[in-house]
Structure 1
Amino acid sequence: MESADRKKGRLVVRLASAIVAIMLLLLTAAAVTQIGNAKQASESAIRSYGMKLAESYAAGMNAPAYEQFLQQPKENEQYWTLRAELDRYRSQIGALYVYFVVIDEQNNPVILIDGQPKGSELASPIGEVTDIPPAAIANLQQGKIAASPMISNPEYGDYISTYSPVRNEAGEVIGVIGIDTAAADVKEIADSVIGDSVPVFIAIAILTLIAILAILFLLSRALRPLKVIVTAAEDMASGRLAEAEKLLQGSNFRSRNEIGAAYRAMADMSGKLNVIFRDIVSQANRTSRQLVETSGQFADQSAGLLDMNRTIDEAMGQMKDGARAQQVSTVETSRSMEDITSGVERVSRSSLLVADASRSALEKASAGLATIAGIRGQMARIEDVSRGTNDSVHMLESHSDAIVNALISIRDIAEQTKLLALNASIEAARAGEHGRGFAVVAAEVRKLADSSGTAVADIASLLTSIQEESTTIAERMTAGNDEIREGVRLSQDAEETMRALVDRFQFVAEESQELSAASEEMSASTEEAASAAHTIADIAAMAAHRSEEVAILAASQLEAVQGMTRSSQAMSEMAQHLQHALLKIKV
């Protein structure tokens, strides 16, 4: 909220400063122009008045006397007479200087008579070159009146010179009469005009201040929706969609400009986003909870199956050791039968050992058969649970696809917002200087739309990761199902092998009992005993071989169950990550 206030404040200050600066520049330019026009008008009035005076005086001058003086230009009686006339005229009109000039062959203006009092140190001598502008000289040679701009001379001060040609009776130009007027008159007139313009300047300044205040009020009112738009966009970027919708729906701006359109578009986008994400988050939460529960059950059952398989593995190890011991015993019995001459007593002891070992092996084989039957049932139940988990994973993938479709819609809405911002920029450009603020606003809205697009891209990336993890889980579950089916098949094979092994052990037990009963008659039937001993040895070897096969199958089944346990743990972790990601979105 504070960030939005600062941004709005800076924008209003920038716009207001620019407008104030422009208006002050215009006001200053108008004042400077008015002052310059006053000075130019004063100079023009003095210049026009001076040319009229020069032309009027030239028309009434004694041209023959000046024409006669030009024949011998020196300080004679005629010179002083003409100089006194020019001095009287200078005093009458209040001019600085009145003088008679001729233009020589090099177009240089040469003063012949300077209308100053006799004895004046300011009087120019005969033949002094003065400073008539070349353009004025050209006009004078054509018989036209002329004037110079304001001249600043260190010796004579600031003045304006006006000139008129002096003609003889034949109409020929014989010289030029020049009148220099002091610039103080020009400044006095300009100051008077400027003084009369002061009330106008004050009125313009007051109107300018009122216009500035009105512009500031209109700008502040027009930019008011920006604070709500920026705050709502920040809430949406942070995942607080409900707060953004509440803020936008709670405000009521009726602006018909681009800012109002951006506000209404943002409010509409917020409402649609909130509805879409509410459904997505609800479905994803239900799916993730089901996945967590299923993965937990699967993990518990996998742990139980793992313990059971470890027990089977230990039993198979003991069974293998017993079978090997039985094999050794039967071999020893066979050797004893071959060495029947050692005595019936040794044969009897060996037969008793064989009977005990057979009973022990039979008991362990029976226990192993029951354990394998339990394993096969447990494997079937695990297969059902794994199938259900696999279905849940596929359901999660379908929900992820739905989320991706929703994000595509969100991205389209962000693009539409950017188009609105672009339209606002175009309208601001058409508005010229007054639309510069709207261009800034459109740029800010476009940045916010870019931020929304970036947030959508981040969510899409997260969903892509979830889909990839879901695919990995599905693949692992498929592999786990294959391993489970293989475990079921191996359990069935182990059960069949154990049944055959029990039958063999039963047979061995019976034979051992018969051998024990017939040990007293062994001396009479040594061939029978030897044959039975060979049979027992073969059975023991087969039992040892079968025990090793069962042990290998049990080890393979143990590895498969361990893989299932790891898969269930990974699936549980992924489900928890999904729940944490969904908690960041508040709708």
Structure 2
Amino acid sequence: MVRHLTKWVQCGKQWLANRRASSQGLKLRSMSWHSLSTQAVLLLLLTCLAPLVGAGGYFAVSSTDALTKAAVENNDKIADRVANDVSGYIQNKRNFLLVTSGDEEIRSLNAKRLERYLKLVQPYYGGNELLFVADRSGRQVWRTDGLNLQNVAERRYFQEVMAGHVVMSEPVLSKGAGQLGVVGAVPIQGENKDIIGILGVVLPLQNLQVLLERVLSENPGYGIVVLNQQKVPLFHPGNAEAVKERRPLEEAYYTQVLEQKTGNLETQVRGQDYFLSYRPVANTDWVVVSLYPKDMALAQSQEMVRRTVWGIGVLVVCFLAGGFWAVRRTLQPLQTLMRGVQEVGRGKLSARTVCASRNELGELAAAFNGMTENLQQVVRETRKSSGDVLTSASFLETALEQGQEGSKQMAQSVEEIAARLEGQKSVVLDAAERLAEITRRSQEIVALGHVTEEKGQHCSNLAREGQGALFQTVSQLEETKKTVQQTRQYAATLSDNAQSISQITQLIRNIASSTKLLALNAAIEAARAGEAGRGFAVVAGEIGKLAVQSDEASGNIMHIITAIEASTVQTLETMEGTFALMEEGVAGALQSREAFLNIVDAVAQVHAAAGNIRSEAFRQNELCIETQNQVQEVKELAEESSNDVSEIAATAQQQAAAVEEMADTALGLRQLAEGLEEGVRKFEV
């Protein structure tokens, strides 16, 4: 019961501390970003804003990409149209020249006939461009503008046409009219298909400009540039001086245009972003470049993005206003519940919350009311029990003080008895240690006697084994002596045999020398006999070779026999030295055998004396062990008495400590009961 009351008191104190902290925390949270209202509004803002911003951004990027793609495609169409129009314009002029150059009137190169024919076909030509005819020397025969006839032999287009090519030249300055134009020329062929002149037309660049300006008027905002492979512009509204002066353009992107000829890119022109589309002009080396500002292409997209941003902002504001109203309406019951919690935290357990909602907040309010009622009942029971605990603790504290005094007196008496037993125990332990030392020394003497006896026995055995080994050594030396003497006789016999072989070998060498002389004489006689003695000469030669080989073999045998004789002499000398050493060894072994007999007798006497010492030491050791056992029993009795007294003293001390601890516990229990009663008074039940 005391433990339960203690836990209740601790729980009450912890609850009061938490109540103070929570009441302060509620005030702070209601005014901070951690409040539920603020978090709900922020969550609503993120939930609405993220999809809207994502969708708006995707729509803006998609619109920009689509408009960019459409602008590039439209720019490509403008470039295709201009390239096709210029190519068609030039192709019409070229076809006219090819058809007209084959007419008989043109081939005649007669001025009057040319004048009449050209005036006749010029209405069908459909233009006011200059037509002219020049002979093979380059001198103009006729021209439709009526100006002075010129010599065009130095013109490059004339040289290329006379080589058989159909030419559309670069812009040149007309000698008669004094204006820039493009010369188109075709060869005039005679009856033999040889080139007799050229038919040409001068296309003023002004006519090309009219054609291109018509396209620009239909597509405002676009720019068109026509240039050749040298980056010299034929048409450039923004740089008319470069067209007039035939000056190449310096922009780097024109190099890429001329290399690729077909394609599109995005670059900066005079500090502004432009879309460029470029296409080649058929039958020429010209390239048409169409330019369109990127800002104009994306102006509609930027306006759409601006409208989208405004729309998203309006939607976000509407969502926030509605969400804030909904959050406040939803969290209103929670604020009522929070006020009830604050009242309970201040100690008013009779406070109740009223919530008519049927959602989780209503269930939370009902649970809070139930918890408050249970806590109110616990406080009533605690208030009643704390008075009973306080009275019981006072009685218990008085009784424990009396028991503590008696325990102290008993502990002092036990300590005096334990001190006397410790003195007696020390005397017995001292005697036991000295007797143990005597016993240990006796055991060492017994062990040493035993070891001495074993060593003596071992020495005796070793002496007998040495005597037997010595006898065997003497016998082996005698046998070795006989063997060495017999080997010496074999070596002498080998030396005699080697001398006999040497004599025989010398005889063989003499015979081989005689055979060589006979073979030489036989060869001489065969040579005298001529053809009849040729076969005998061959046989005599073979006999001579055999005699030489026999002589060489005999020489080798003589060398070997000489080496054998030298080795045999050395062996005999060694055998003589060995035999003398063997004689000395046998004499020494006999002396050692006599000494070993004396050693064996001395070791036997030592072994007997060691046995007697070991027997006497063993009897002394048995007496010491018996005395030690008796002293050990006395020591054990003393130790048991001392242990019993120590246990009694420890028990008395534990009892005194337990009584003191119970007194402290009783004091603490009384203090806890007083604190519990003081804490319970703070609650209003």
Determine which structure has the larger helix proportion and give its number: 1
TM category (shorter chain) comes to 0.3 to 0.5
TM-score norm. by structure 1 comes to 0.41
Tell which structure's C-alpha radius of gyration is larger. 2
